[in-house]
């Protein structure tokens, strides 16, 4: 039990240190760096031209499809991990079960492939 608590205390310390470094570095940097903003400096960068329109433009719906595929396969991984850990204690039955589960997802991948979701065309 002590070990369990200690381990997660270390994890917390690492996360705290991770937050602390940017905070400290940027706070110290504030004392060192000049601060002379003007309108030109604060314009959005567009290769030296006057920025045209909004910055948050519409983008290809393809990114959404990739995100969707990612969610599906990431959930598969969530199932694969505990299965893999316990694999040596489990029988042939779970191997067949996992094959069916992965097979269904692979059919989904094949479908996306045939629908040309995985093909990249411009932007």
Partner 1 sequence: MGAWLEETLTWGNALLFFLWGVILLAIVLGFVTYAIFFERKVIGWMQYRIGPNRVGPWGLLQSVADIAKLLIKEDTIPRKADRVLFILAPALAYVPAFAVLAVIPYTQNLYFADINVGLLYYVALSGISTIAIVLGGWASNNKYALLGGMRSAAQMISYEVPLVISVVGVIMMSGTLNLRSIADQQGDWFWQWNFIPQIIGFVVFVIAAVSELNRTPFDLPEAESELVAGYHVEYSGFRFAFFMLTEYVYVYAIAALTTVLFLGGWHAPFPFLTWVPGIIWFLLKFSFIVFFLFWIRATLPRIRVDQLMGLGWKVLLPVSILNVFLTAVYLELFVK
Interface with partner 1 includes 48 (CB under 8 A)?
no
Q: Are 76 and 105 in contact, with CB atoms under 8 Å apart?
A: yes
| Choice from 49, 61, 85, 100 touching partner 1 (CB under 8 A) | 85
Burial class (CB in 10 A: 0-12, 13-18, 19+), 114: exposed
User: Cα angle vertex 36, ends 31, 42, to 5°?
Assistant: 120
Interface with partner 1 includes 24 (CB under 8 A)?
no
Q: Are 72 and 105 in contact, with CB atoms under 8 Å apart?
A: yes
| Choice from 49, 88, 100, 114 touching partner 1 (CB under 8 A) | 88
| Sign of the dihedral through C-alpha 114, 115, 117, 120 | positive
As measured in angstroms, the least distance from the Cβ of 67 to partner 1 is 7
As measured in angstroms, the least distance from the Cβ of 73 to partner 1 is 4
| Choice from 37, 49, 61, 93 touching partner 1 (CB under 8 A) | 37
Q: Using CB under 8 A as the criterion, what x/- string covers residues 58-77 for binding partner 1?
A: -x--xx--xx-xx--xx-xx
Rounded to whole angstroms, the Cα distance separating 94 from 83 reads: 8
| Choice from 49, 50, 61, 92 touching partner 1 (CB under 8 A) | 92
């Amino acid at each position: 039990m002590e070990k369990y608590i200690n381990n997660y205390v270390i994890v917390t310390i690492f996360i705290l240190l991770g937050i602390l470094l940017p905070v400290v570095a940027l706070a110290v940097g504030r004392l060192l760096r000049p601060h002379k903003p003007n309108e030109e400096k604060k314009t959005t960068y567009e290769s030296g031209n006057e920025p045209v329109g909004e910055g948050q433009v519409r983008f290809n719906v393809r990114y959404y499809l990739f995100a969707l595929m990612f969610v599906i396969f990431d959930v598969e991984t969530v199932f694969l991990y505990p299965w893999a850990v316990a694999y040596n204690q489990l029988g042939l039955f779970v191997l067949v079960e996992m094959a069916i589960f992965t097979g269904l997802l692979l059919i989904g991948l094949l479908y996306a492939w045939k629908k040309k979701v995985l093909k990249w065309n411009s932007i």
